[in-house]
Amino acid sequence: MARRGGLGGFWNEERKLSLQVFLSNKPAVVGLVIVLIYIADALIVQFAPWLLGLKNPYALTPNYINPIPQPPSWKYPLGTTYPGVNLLTAIIKAIRVDLGLSVAVVLPGAGLGIVIGIIATYIGGWVDDLLMRITDIFFSVPYLVLAIAVGYVLGRDITSMIIALIIVWWPLYARYTRSVTLQVRELTFIEAARAAGASNAKIMFRHILPNALPPVLVQMSMDLGTVMLVISALAFIGFLPVSNFPELGYLTTLGLNYINTAPWTILFPGIVIVIFAVSVYLLGMGLMDVINPRRRSSL
């Protein structure tokens, strides 16, 4: 294919191929668009709530005069949930909270895990063994249970929920980073660099890390969805003793007593989570294709 003039340097063959591979994965593109919409929602609620006419962007606005859930209507496009909360605005507000919480868990959790994973592979030997045994121990308690236990110690609030989930999540990243790093270390060009006399640290940070990180980053993007699922599940079982908190799991619990008469109070907040989690997953799959050399070359 002819190279486009001017941008030749940037649009080199490989980058163009990456883009092509990504774009040819239609679900991934859809996922990307949806994720961007969620991010836009969160940013607008955070920085410019007036754009959407939100008066009280960081909390739910109950209406005790008419608390019974109302079906969708012109006034309330997604209906209302108990106690008289407009679901549409509630969901718009909740996206910011859930996305923010996910990022607040994934970034530090992954950062910590990546550092520990790299230390484990870099030093190796008994340090590696020890660190991996520690991840085993953290991993031995199912994450929701561990979060509950940590929540008991720290008191159940948002901060402790974030800390609890970071404690739950870092071992996953430590292990994953370790496994990809080990894989990369086996590759031949690393041998070549070693033969050329590069120091260990240089090999680690100049050669291994850049090749090991992309899959970990893809994993992070996918985990934004997983963590959101866990957060909402925790909120659902009552981890957060709060009221009027715009969080999707909590929002779902509000309508639970009306399950017979007002299913939308549960379905709409739920669907918003499903769409996000599926979108990040599809996006992640698309990115995975891009970094997978076999996928790049075949049709």
Q: Which residues here bind other proteins, judged by CB under 8 A?
A: 17, 20-21, 24, 133-134, 136-146, 148-153, 156, 225, 229-230, 232-233, 236-239, 249, 252, 256, 259-260, 263, 266-267, 270, 273-278, 281-282, 296-299
Smallest gap from Cβ 138 to other proteins, in A, equals 8
- CA angle 41/44/46 to nearest 5° reads 105
Smallest gap from Cβ 219 to other proteins, in A, equals 12
Structure tokens belonging to residue 298 = 């075949």
**Residue 40 backbone dihedrals phi, psi, to 5 degrees:** -60, -45
Q: Choose between 44 and 222: whose C-beta lies nearer to other proteins.
A: 222
Q: Choose between 92 and 273: whose C-beta lies nearer to other proteins.
A: 273
Smallest gap from Cβ 266 to other proteins, in A, equals 5
Smallest gap from Cβ 260 to other proteins, in A, equals 6
CA distance 34 to 44: 15
User: In this structure, are residues 169 and 113 in contact, taking their beta carbons and an 8 Å threshold?
Assistant: yes
Q: Choose between 225 and 246: whose C-beta lies nearer to other proteins.
A: 225
Q: Choose between 156 and 207: whose C-beta lies nearer to other proteins.
A: 156
Smallest gap from Cβ 10 to other proteins, in A, equals 19
Strand ranges (DSSP E) for 38-179?
Answer: 80-81, 85-86
Q: Choose between 57 and 284: whose C-beta lies nearer to other proteins.
A: 284
Q: Which H or E run contains 225?
A: helix 209-236
Q: What does DSSP say about strands 80-81 and 85-86: parallel, antiparallel, or unpaired?
A: antiparallel
Structure tokens belonging to residue 131 = 């660190």
